[in-house]
Amino acid sequence: MTGTSQTGLTVLDPTAEGRPAERELTPRAETLAGLTVGLLDISKPRGNVFLDRLEEHLVKIGAGVERYAKPTFAKPAPVDLRHEIATNCDAVIEALAD
C-alpha cells in the first residue's frame, strides 16, 4: 500500500494496513439483579479492597458474583481465563488498583 503526500511524493505505508474488527457491544443489561458478575482482580496491591466493596453492593442488589484474578498485572489476561469469565458471567468488572 502507498500514500501520496500533498507535495506529490509517493511513500510506502509503514503500518500493518489492517483495520480493527468492528464488533457490536453486547446488549447492556437493564439490571444486574439475578445476573452473574465476574470481578477480575489484576493482582495489584489493594485491588481486593475495591472488589470486596463492589461485591457487597452487587450481592445487596441480588447479583451473583464470581471472583477471578490475573496471574500478573504486567501481562494480558490469559485466553483461558477470558474464556472462563465469558462462559460463566453475564458481565465483568476489572479492577485497577494501588
Partner 1 sequence: MFDRGWTDGLPVVPPTEARVERMLTGTSRSPADLVAVVPPDLVDCTVEKVAINAVMAGCLPEYLPVVLTALEAVCTDDFNMHGVLATTMSVGPVLVVSGPITAEIKMNHGINVLGHGNRANSTIGRAVQLVIRNVGGGAPGGIDRATLGHMGKQGFCFAEDQVGSPWTSLSEDRGFGPDQNTVTAFAGEGPHILMDQKSRSADSLTRMLAQSLLGSVSSRVVMGIDAMLVLSPEHMARYRDAGWDRSRFMEELASHLMVDADTILIGSGGIEEGLPQDFTGMSLPKFRPGGLLVVHAGGPAGLFSAVIGGWVNGPTGSEPVTKEITP
Among 15, 26, 31, 87, contact with partner 1 (rule: CB under 8 A): 15
Instruction: Find the shortest distance in angstroms from Cβ 96 to partner 1.
Output: 9
78 lines the binding site for partner 1 (CB under 8 A) = no
DSSP assignment letter at 68: E
CB of 15 to partner 1, least distance (A): 5
Residue 25 contacts partner 1 per CB under 8 A: no
Helix ranges (DSSP H) in 1-98 = 47-60, 79-88
Q: What amino acid is encoded at 19 in this protein?
A: R
Strands (E), 1-98: 2-4, 10-12, 36-41, 64-69, 91-95
The distance of closest approach from Cβ of residue 3 to partner 1 in the complex, given in angstroms and rounded to an integer, is 7
